[in-house]
């Protein structure tokens, strides 16, 4: 399942800046950053539940917002990009 | 058709700050801002083509990036939110 994660964290306080770092760090464990606060993740249902739980614990429920957009398995046909291409296919094999 | 628009504009130059304002202004004509650089739009195919053209003209192809994620008509079932809810249903009737 392809899930797009987008977030806005209120960084007007030092606590907010810390939350922002933690949200990004957590998302990096589950997918790929394509823009500042946008991550593309390919997840199982269990991983998705886990990710939401972890992010829920990090953010301030009143100040921050996170949205999850689920695009299903044929997600590549539903994504278009213009400008600088920041995508590396999250399902491609990475040869290290 | 529901289209999510996310963007990153390089604002290290005054030109970039101007592009950022124009991108946001253009997106506001087509949908609703749910996060800083995330817009939810319900568009016809023609409107989508027009929006892409306008944004393509505004951005720097080498410095900025815009992604379009199409979620189809049953989009509400594919969106989840945690934290501060920034959504107003873009298909709801607005009584002014």
CA distances from A4 to A44, A70, B61, B71, B81 (A): 13, 6, 23, 11, 12
- How close, in Å, is residue B22 to chain A by CA atoms? 15
DSSP state of A78: G
Domains held by chain B: number: 1
Reference B2, options B54, B32, B56, B41; nearest CA is B41
Whether A34 and B59 lie within 8 Å, measured CB to CB: no
Range of the domain at B30: 2-74
Answer yes or no: is B95 within a domain: no
Answer yes or no: is A57 within a domain: yes
Answer yes or no: is B56 within a domain: yes
Average pLDDT over residues B73-85: 91
Residues of chain A in contact with residue B82, where contact means CB-CB under 8 angstroms, are: 52, 55-56, 59, 61, 65-66, 68
Answer yes or no: is A91 within a domain: no
The secondary element (H helix, E strand) that includes residue B57 is helix B45-58
The CATH number given to whatever domain includes residue A61 is 3.30.70.240
Answer yes or no: is A59 within a domain: yes
Q: How far apart are CA A32 and CA B40, in angstroms?
A: 21
Answer yes or no: is B93 within a domain: no
Phi, psi of B36, deg, nearest 5: -45, -55
State pLDDT tens for residues A45-88.
999 999 999 999 999 999 999 999 999 888 999 999 999 977 65
Answer yes or no: is B65 within a domain: yes
pLDDT band at B85 (very low <50, low <70, confident <90, very high): confident
Residues of chain A in contact with residue B84, where contact means CB-CB under 8 angstroms, are: 61-65
Answer yes or no: is A84 within a domain: no
Q: How far apart are CA A20 and CA A89, in angstroms?
A: 25
């Amino acid at each position: 399942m392809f899930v797009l994660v987008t977030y806005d964290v209120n960084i007007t306080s030092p606590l907010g800046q810390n939350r922002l770092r933690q949200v990004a760090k957590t998302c990096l464990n589950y997918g790929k950053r394509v823009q500042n606060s946008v991550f593309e993740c390919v997840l199982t249902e269990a991983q998705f539940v886990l990710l939401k739980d972890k992010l829920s614990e990090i953010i301030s429920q009143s100040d921050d917002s996170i949205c999850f957009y689920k695009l299903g398995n044929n997600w590549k046909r539903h994504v278009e990009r213009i400008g600088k291409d920041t995508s590396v296919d999250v399902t491609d094999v990475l040869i290290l």
